Structure 1
Amino acid sequence: MVLSGGTSGIGRIAATEVAAQGATVAVIGRDQTRGETLVAEATALDGDIQFHQADLATQATVRSLAGELLDTYDRIDTLVHNAGLSSRLRTETEDGVELTFAVNHLAPYLLTHELLDRLRSSAPARVVVTASDIHHRATFEFNDLQFTSGYDSLQAYARSKLANIAFTLELADRLEDTEITANCFHPGFVPSTNLFRDAPLWTRVMVRAAAIIPGIGTTQQEGAQRLCKLVTAPKFKERTGTYVTGEGITSPTTEASNPENRKRLWEISADLVDIDPDWP
């Protein structure tokens, strides 16, 4: 299993639990120290955790990472896109893409493209994407998809999660006649993660308050269990194109599921990362 965002939060827990079942887990993260610590702590597990350091903000790094993964692993039967951030200020990457959109959406889009042939040869295989119910408050606004004006960090994050779901559903349709499934999930509101470390002060204060008030939010363990379910549950070996929350398989907004929106996002994304939009 390849898992981005696996050195902290729900990703770290999920990586450990899957490795405990005997799997090899390739964890992708920005922090070398955290990655090395995770590997050291996993030595007693039945499986194996290996760490790959990468900052998914840049397309060159994503492509380099893909090459490294292909050179290291003969099989990739599960690809989990869990890395994410919420940037307080509008920042562009060296590729000229708004940072939250680049990390949360374009990196999964591009990495899936780069690893798809290995997933095919390893099939049955799964693609799992961490989305969020916050997508309910977002729209695409294709005339200004990257918030060149009126940037709001929470809206940018919500739109990136909307993109995650639209991408997953479109990918599932395009892979319909293969043995690769694509599903996404809402981990719950997990206030104890580092997701909002770059968010505005008022957001960080609210998240911190939620973390200490009983009954508010979801624990990291609960969020990780939702991720593990999509990775290991037998029904998701064949079930594809679903959005899963704590209530089970539910429907995302029509903004996310609309075929025209999905196709347009797919084509714009292909243009931004310079690949053929007709893949796979």
Structure 2
Amino acid sequence: MTGRVVIVTGADRGIGYETARYMAAEGGYDVVLACRDQEKGQNAIHQIKKDNPSALVTLMQLDLSSLTSVRDFVTNFTMKKRKLHVLVNNAAVKLSSTDLTAKPTRDQIEVTMATNYIGPFLLTHLLLDLLVTAAHMTGDARIVNVTCAEHDHEKLPGVTELDVDNFQLTKKGTFSGLQAYKNSKLCNILFSYQLADSLSGTGVSVNCINPGNIPSTQLESRSSKVKRGLKLVCLHYLLRCAKFTQTKKQAGKQVALLASSDKYKGSTGCYYEDGVAERSSIESYDRELRQKVWNISKKIAGLGRDDGFDDISLHSTV
């Protein structure tokens, strides 16, 4: 066992489960499965332990769409006096592309942006002290943000650039499930690049990864059965042989390796596909946009000096 602790969000199924399973079984990590659904989380732990009885896995409740839940999670984790070496922000939701009505959370944040970006943004910053401490002691701590190719509006018909003046798509006629998803995944990348700069010299690396097209995940569970079935059959089984798609296990391994392999030690501020650093969208390299999104996110998440946020952000190169 490595003695290293990792938190994987959304680890009860899909890529998150496979990431947690791989890091516990193959990497020997002490893995915390941060899950919204406790029953599914317990089932995931049961399966991991069934296949690998010596695996170190625990379950903690976390609903990323709730700022209160995020803060409660961090409080409960820190009360356990545990170290933290790796954070994998994996959990995500995706509304149907035909859904034209925004669904606000109790915090009045659009649910896609809340779950996929604002929640992880807050979670990451509240755990930064632990990660910086681990990096100081071991020389290596990592943050991995899971994104996707759909962050690039140039590859998606009917989707536009991120409008910071309409960050939550509240202007009439601007909301769609796909636009909200694209915006949230772009923000994951903007955040990764900005945070990597902010943490320069601390030993904490920050990278994002597009694990590929995985039709067999439950990410699009809100889509119609016909659409989900067609995508599963056409894209998964027919195109996998041509390497257009991947299995959940393949994708989870990619994420786990970026989070743990010596191959990626010291690498930071990168966007990975198929284990290789690639260029993300043109929009994702807009430094002015990056700074604006950073400031907006801080305000929405309710971050302030008491969270240690300002001390970290002083290192920003932007």
TM-score by length of 2: 0.83
Aligned to 1:62: 70
Instruction: Please tell me whether residue 256 in structure 1 is matched to residue 284 in structure 2.
Output: yes
Aligned to 2:201: 177
Q: Residue 127 of structure 2: SS of its match in structure 1? A: helix
Distance 1:66 1:130, change over 3 A: same
**Residues 181, 236 of structure 1: 8 Å contact kept:** no
**Residues 87, 99 of structure 1: 8 Å contact kept:** no
Cα distance between partner residues in 1 of 2:238 and 2:117 = 31
Cα deviation, residue 58, structure 1 = 0.8
Q: State the identity %.
A: 29
Q: Residue 222 of structure 1: SS of its match in structure 2? A: helix
Aligned to 1:106: 118
Higher mean alpha-carbon deviation, 16-25 vs 37-46, is at 37-46
Cα deviation, residue 202, structure 1 = 6.8
**Residues 196, 203 of structure 1: 8 Å contact kept:** no
Which of the numbers 30, 33, 37 marks the counterpart of 2:43?
Answer: 37
Which structure has the bigger radius of gyration? 2
Q: CA deviation digits over 1:88-143, x for unaligned, max 9?
A: 44100111110000000001100011111111111121000001111111521111
Cα deviation, residue 200, structure 1 = 5.7
Cα distance between partner residues in 2 of 1:47 and 1:201 = 36
Q: Count matched residues.
A: 280
Cα distance between partner residues in 2 of 1:239 and 1:212 = 34
After superposition, where does 1:217-236 map in structure 2 within 5 Å? 217-236=245-264
Higher mean alpha-carbon deviation, 119-128 vs 245-254, is at 245-254
Q: Residue 96 of structure 1: SS of its match in structure 2? A: coil
**Residues 119, 301 of structure 2: 8 Å contact kept:** no
Gaps of 5+ in 2: 1-5, 154-159, 313-318
Task: Kindly provide the amino acid, as one letter, of the partner of residue 261 in structure 1.
Answer: L
Which of the numbers 109, 112, 127 marks the counterpart of 2:143?
Answer: 127
TM-score by length of 1: 0.94
**Residues 76, 119 of structure 1: 8 Å contact kept:** yes
Aligned to 1:278: 310
After superposition, where does 1:1-280 map in structure 2 within 5 Å? 1-20=6-25, 21-43=27-49, 44-88=52-96, 89=99, 90-123=102-135, 124-137=140-153, 139-148=161-170, 149=172, 150-199=174-223, 203-209=227-233, 210-215=235-240, 216-246=244-274, 248-276=276-304, 278-280=310-312
CA RMSD, Structure 1 to Structure 2 (Å): 1.8
Q: Residue 178 of structure 1: SS of its match in structure 2? A: coil
Cα distance between partner residues in 2 of 1:181 and 1:56 = 22
Task: Kindly provide the amino acid, as one letter, of the partner of residue 93 in structure 2.
Answer: L
**Residues 22, 253 of structure 2: 8 Å contact kept:** no
Cα distance between partner residues in 2 of 1:198 and 1:109 = 24
**Residues 216, 236 of structure 2: 8 Å contact kept:** yes
